[in-house]
Amino acid sequence: GLVLGIETSCDETGVGIVRVDADGTTTLLANEISSSVEEHARFGGVVPEVASRAHLQAMVPAVHRAMTTAGITARDVDAVAVTAGPGLSGALLVGVAAAKAYAAAWDVPLYGVNHLAAHVAVDTLQNGPLPPALALLVSGGHSSLLSVPDLAGPVTPLGATIDDAAGEAFDKVARLLGLPFPGGPHIDRVARDGDPSAVAFPRGLTGPRDAPFDFSFSGLKTAVARHVEALERAGTPVPVADVAASFQEAVVDVLTAKAVRAAREHGMDVLCLGGGVAANSRLRALAQDRCDAAGLVLRVPRPVLCTDNGAMVAALGAHLLARDAAPSPLALPADSSLPVTEVLVG
Ligand code: ATP
Ligand code: MG
Ligand code: FE
């Protein structure tokens, strides 16, 4: 079967097309992404109204480009999957409305799926069927540890950030260091020339009495701000590479330590990374080292599949189609705060 996946939860209009064979093998045929990130750059963050308008303009052309790339026509599509939440309400609405229209016009099942579950499902396109796994999802809006016995659900949240998301911390610290938005990739790049042990920044929520699987990054962000302010007051040039590397090390140290511990405590042999921050080169390297040491298998999609895209939605849709899951109603609502426990909106 062929599944067309639509993603509009934030600032990327994504359309993916995935083929799923009878044995469950999936193949990625197209992954069209149109981003409005540059329109948000001067605001230092995503502006919801701007994102919604950009989705409206990009949606139909992106579907056409994806079908051309995949070499298929509308008649070939067997199901339409769409991110139903969580995300920005107005942005989600554009994708959900488009998906309903296509599913109705083509007379195929509609799957309204959870964005976070889709971030995990995308791994199957690269690494094959996913065994029971512990997932670490880190993006601009989320930082969660999830127990995923099966992609079709139920997914159990084990922990999450109590303040800023990991990607949000990257973006805010990048701004402090005078790097462009979104800052994650820039910090990743400049940190390569820096010393990760130059500044001993705090590791949030790692005390013995702290919640073992929750995260906190706002204290770290404040510590970086204080450090930079002190240097500026003293008239000392800010060693951007060293500060970026030290900040990045503090984030990935906590993320990987907690993820490995969660996998062991929950009897999972596989750790799967997802979300935009999973594109971070230091996170990938340290996760690999710590999984090797703990005897865990690390699965991490290539960077373009980590950030928001339509292929991840199509991948989860393909899994649901192969399982003959009951489709969502055509009255499917967009739900900006869809809980992660709800993989498929019934
Ligand atoms: P959501 O949280 O709803 O998934 P999002 O748009 O934040 O939405 P993504 O596209 O998955 O989700 O992630 C974007 C985030 O990932 C941004 O904060 C960005 O700075 C961060 N990011 C991207 N690449 C890197 C990198 N190499 N290193 C660190 N952070 C990165
Ligand atoms: Mg984004
Ligand atoms: Fe995302």
pLDDT digits (tens, 9 = 90+) for 302-317: 999 999 999 999 999 9
Whether the CA torsion 309, 20, 272, 327 is positive or negative: it is: positive
Q: If you take atom 29 of ligand 1, which residue's CA is the nearest one? A: 184
Q: Is residue 41 scored above 90 in pLDDT?
A: no
For ligand 3, the distance from its centroid to the CA atom of residue 314, given in whole angstroms, is 14
At 45, the pLDDT band (50, 70, 90 cuts) reads: confident
Position 186: which residue type? Answer: H
% of the chain with per-residue pLDDT over 70? 100
Establish whether the linkage from the previous residue to 182 is cis, with ω within 30° of 0. yes
Q: Is residue 169 scored above 90 in pLDDT?
A: yes
At 21, the pLDDT band (50, 70, 90 cuts) reads: very high
- Burial of residue 314 (number of CB atoms within 10 Å: 0-12, 13-18, 19+): buried
For ligand 3, the distance from its centroid to the CA atom of residue 43, given in whole angstroms, is 20
Helix-, strand-, coil-residue percentages of the chain, each rounded to 5? 45, 20, 35
Residue with the bigger pLDDT between 39 and 170: it is 170
At 71, the pLDDT band (50, 70, 90 cuts) reads: very high
Q: Is residue 44 scored above 90 in pLDDT?
A: no
pLDDT at 80 (0 to 100): 98
Per-chain mean pLDDT for the chain: 97
Position 315: which residue type? Answer: A
% of the chain with per-residue pLDDT over 90? 96
Residue 110 CA to residue 125 CA, distance in Å, equals 21
C-alpha angle with apex 252: 248 to 257, nearest 5 degrees?
155
4 beta partners: 17, 80
**Predicted-complex ipTM score:** 0.97
The residues lining ligand 1, judged by C-beta closer than 6 Å to any ligand atom, are 9-11, 87, 115, 139-142, 167, 170-171, 182-185, 188, 275-277, 279-280, 307-308
pLDDT digits (tens, 9 = 90+) for 78-133: 999 999 999 999 999 999 999 999 999 999 999 999 999 999 999 999 999 999 99
Q: If you take atom 20 of ligand 1, which residue's CA is the nearest one? A: 184
pLDDT at 42 (0 to 100): 84
pLDDT at 23 (0 to 100): 87
Contacts of the segment 219-227: beta carbons below 8 A, 24+ positions apart: 220/169, 220/247, 220/250, 220/251, 221/164, 221/169, 221/172, 221/173, 224/173, 224/176, 225/176, 227/199, 227/201
pLDDT digits (tens, 9 = 90+) for 312-345: 999 999 999 999 999 999 999 999 999 999 999 9
Residue 47 CA to residue 31 CA, distance in Å, equals 24
Known binding residues? 115, 119, 137-141, 171, 184, 188, 280, 308
pLDDT at 43 (0 to 100): 87
pLDDT digits (tens, 9 = 90+) for 222-275: 999 999 999 999 999 999 999 999 999 999 999 999 999 999 999 999 999 999
